[in-house]
Amino acid sequence: MRRVVVTGMGAVTPIGNSVEEFWENIKKNTVGIGEITQFDVSGFKCRMGAEVKNFDPGRYMDPKAARRMEPFCQYAVAATGEAIKDAGIDLEKEDLTRFGTCIGNGLGGVQPIEREHKKILEGRTKVSVMMVPTMISNMAAGNVAIAYGLKGKCTDVVTACATGTNSIGEAYRYIQYGEADVMAAGGAESPICATNVAGFTSMTALSSATDPARASIPFDKDRCGFVIGEGAGVVILESLEHAEARGAKILAEIVGYGSTCDAFHITSPAEDGEGAARAMTLAINEAGITPADVDYINAHGTSTHHNDLYETRAIKKAFGDEAYNVNINSTKSMIGHLFGAAGAVEFITCVKSIEDSYIHPTVGLRETEGEIDLNYTMGEGVHKGVNYALSNSLGFGGHNASILVKKFSR
C-alpha cells in the first residue's frame, strides 16, 4: 500500500471563504452563527443558522456554469479550485485519467424541489429542465470533475453527517491501492431552506437558542441541538511518490481510517458508543500507534444531548484511561453543523492544528455534566505540538467514520 499525503486544501465556510480566512477566524474564536436570512423564519421555532457570507460564485467559475448549479456545487467547485492552487498542481502536466474526485453531499439540492413543487401545486405541469441535475447529490463531484477536467475515479459518498470524513477516507483508500495518483476529496452542503429546517425541528434536533453565542455549545450541560450550516471543504490527496516527483509541499500524511456502522437506530448513535469507538480504534491500529500517541481529537460534537454523551462514551471506550489526557474540541461550536461538508472542514482544521501547533477551544462551552467529563478544551485554545490528530464524524443511519492524520516526516 502506498503512503498518502495532503498537499492542498480549500474551504468555503460560515467564517471564511478560504482556508486562510477560515483559520484566522478560528484562532479568533469567531462564531459564524446568526438568524437565517435565506428565507422567512418568522414562523419557525428554530431560527439560527450558520450561513456562508459574501460568496460570489463568479470569482471562482464561469457565471453561466454557476447559474446551472445549486450553492453546494458552487462551494465545491470554489473549494477545489483553492485546493488545486494550494497544492501547486499544473493540470496541463497531469495525467488527468489518474486524477479522481470523491466529493460527497449529505442532503442534495432540496431547494430545487421546493421551487418546482410549488409550480406543480399552482397547477403548472412543466418544471425546470435543470430540476434533476441541480437536486441530485452526485453533482458536487460531477461539477468539480467537469470544471477541472478530472477524468479519474469520480464518486459521491452519501453517509449523512459522516459524508465528508468518509469521502476523504475512501479517496485515501483509492490512492493506497493504486486506483488513482491524485484525488480531490471532501464534502459540500447548502441545506438552509424551509423544508430542512422544518424537518430537523420536528425531530427536535435543532437548537432553539436565540443567542448566537449559545446556540451551538457542544458538550455543555445547556446544549439543546445543533445549528444548521453550509459550506464546503476539499483537500488534494496524493501518493507520496507522486507528490515528491513533482516537488510538492506536503502538509500532512493520512495514516489511518476507520468506518463502521452501529446497526442500532436511524437517528441516534449507539448508546454505549461501540461503533464510533471501533472506528477510532481501526484508524489508530492502522497507523500502528496507541491511543497515548494521539494529541488531539476533533469530535463530531454536534451540541445535541445524545451525540455529545454517546461520543464521549465512545472516546472512553476507544482510549481507556488516555481519554482524559487527549485534547478534544468541536469546530461546530463556531461554524455550526455543515452536514456532508462537516467532516471535510474539520479534517482541514486538524491539518492546520498540526501546522500551527494550536488546538482551538470549544467556543461557548461553560460547564459540562455527569459523564461528559473529558478535556474539551474549554475557555482558551491550547498552543502545543500536534503530531497525530483524529477527526470523528457520526451520521444518521449509524454511520461512523474516523480519520487519523499526522505531521509528515520522511
Does 399 qualify as catalytic in the annotation? Answer: no
**Which set of grid coordinates corresponds to residue 307?**
451525540
Does 300 qualify as catalytic in the annotation? Answer: yes
Q: Cα 19–23–28 angle (5° rounding)? A: 155
Q: Catalytic one among 300, 350, 360, 399?
A: 300
Distances (CA, A) of 346 to 46, 93, 173: 24, 31, 19
Estimate to the nearest angstrom the gap between the alpha carbon of 174 and the chain centroid: 19
Q: Catalytic one among 337, 350, 360, 399?
A: 337
Sign of CA dihedral 285, 286, 288, 291: negative
Does 242 qualify as catalytic in the annotation? Answer: no
Say which residues have a Cβ less than 8 Å from residue 277's Cβ, sequence separation at least 6.
313, 314, 315, 317, 318
Closest to 394 in 3D by CA, of 319, 327, 326, 332? 332
Listed as own residue / partner, the contacts of 22-25 with beta carbons closer than 8 Å and 24 or more positions apart are: 22/345, 22/348, 23/349, 23/352, 23/356, 25/334
Q: What does DSSP say about strands 228-229 and 48-50: parallel, antiparallel, or unpaired?
A: parallel
Q: Catalytic one among 46, 102, 154, 161?
A: 161
Residues acting as catalytic residues:
161, 300, 337
